[in-house]
Amino acid sequence: MTGLATREAIKARQDEVQRRGRGLGWMSLGLGVAQLAASDTVRRISGVDDSPTSRAVVPLVGARELIHAAGLLTNRRKSMWVWTRVAGDAMDLASLGLAIAHRGGRRRRRLLVVTGAIVGITVVDLLTAVQATRAKEVGAVRGSRRGGPMELTATTTIRKPPPKVYAFWRDLDNLPTFMAHLEKIRSTGNRTSHWSASAPFGTNVEWDAEIVDDTPGEKIAWRSTGNADVPNAGTVRFVPAPDGLSTEVHVVLSYDIPGGAIGKAVARYFGEEPHQQLDDDLRRLKQVLETGEVVRSDGAPWGKRARKEFPQRPAQPLSDAEFAKGAQA
């Protein structure tokens, strides 16, 4: 309930910002039209001199207001356009301040009244701009934390018949032998299990899963259950290859990376990009079934045991010191 209330409060705040932004847009539209269509009247009411400078400046300010109106009334990203209004208000106040300093009598009083009105508008513009910026930042942070489902697909061909490849995958104890980030899978029932996997920065994630479709020799589908650290689902199909001897393994995975977009960027930075992970896992599955083991390079002889497999360095063998350090891991 607390999370729902928070989301509703944030949405209400964002809706209020949108409404206020539209109101400022209509205000800009009215001011812009007035300053362009009746610039003489605007100058007279505001106490501005009838000079060549004022006759040029007032229409320019009107055009600026129309640009603000277009942005505020047609674009949902209000923060940028409201900040442009704040900048315009600052320019107007500076100009009015100079005019007041050089005016007296009735013109000065009119300028003071106009300046007071502009100060009030500036306060509203500034408040709206700050709220719009905060609403945007909150939405971005919540979006990055919430993340979203990512679908991954990968395919490999293994020179073994479908029943054998299916049987190897169906024995869940085999999965950690080729899925690099899986630590352990513990069966809790005929179709249920508990999974533990490594994550960026040395953290672990765990979840319960159930098999929802199991067609021997053809297909296995599963999904996470309960309050999983990483909600996920997947399907693997075992299709006879055209040569009549091999199996095409087609995998589709869907899951949320912790941290959403930020988590994806961090994982990619550290060489743990999800699409590459899946491709590497299927490459190791092919090696295990065809050769009986995952082929290691000279640059990563311990493989998954010490999490040295990312990245491998086949053209750069380890030094004696590195080899000794890894052997102790």
Tell me the pLDDT tens digit for each residue of 162-177. 999 999 999 999 999 9
Query: Which pLDDT belongs to residue 272?
Result: 54
Query: Which pLDDT belongs to residue 238?
Result: 97
Token pair listed for 7: 């989301």
Range(s) within the chain of domains with CATH label 3.30.530.20: 150-295
Predicted confidence (pLDDT) at residue 259 exceeds the cutoff of 80: no
Tokens 């609403």 belong to residue: 135
Query: Which pLDDT belongs to residue 275?
Result: 76
Would you list the DSSP string of 115-176?
HHHHHHHHHHHHHHHHHHHHHHHHHHHHHHHH---EEEEEEEEESS-HHHHHHHHHSGGGGG
Mean pLDDT of 193-220: 88
Query: Which pLDDT belongs to residue 236?
Result: 96
Predicted confidence (pLDDT) at residue 263 exceeds the cutoff of 60: no
Query: Which pLDDT belongs to residue 168?
Result: 96
CA dist 214 → 166, 167, 170, 178, 225 (Å): 10, 11, 9, 21, 17
Distance CA 186, CA 52 (A): 84
Reported confidence tier of residue 299, pLDDT bands at 50, 70, 90: very low
Q: How far apart are the first and last CA of the chain?
A: 46
CB 232 within 8 A of CB 223: yes
Predicted confidence (pLDDT) at residue 145 exceeds the cutoff of 60: no
In this structure, of 44-48, 91-95, 211-215, the range with the lowest mean pLDDT score is 44-48
Q: Which fold has domain 150-295?
A: Alpha-D-Glucose-1,6-Bisphosphate; Chain A, domain 4 (3.30.530)
Strand partners, 225: 208
Buried b (16+ CB within 10 A) or exposed e, 169-207: bbebebbbebbbbbeebeeeeeeebebbbbbbeeeebeb
Residue 305's CB is within 10 A of a number of other CB atoms, namely: 10
Distance CA 302, CA 309 (A): 8
Query: Which pLDDT belongs to residue 303?
Result: 44
Mean pLDDT of 192-197: 92
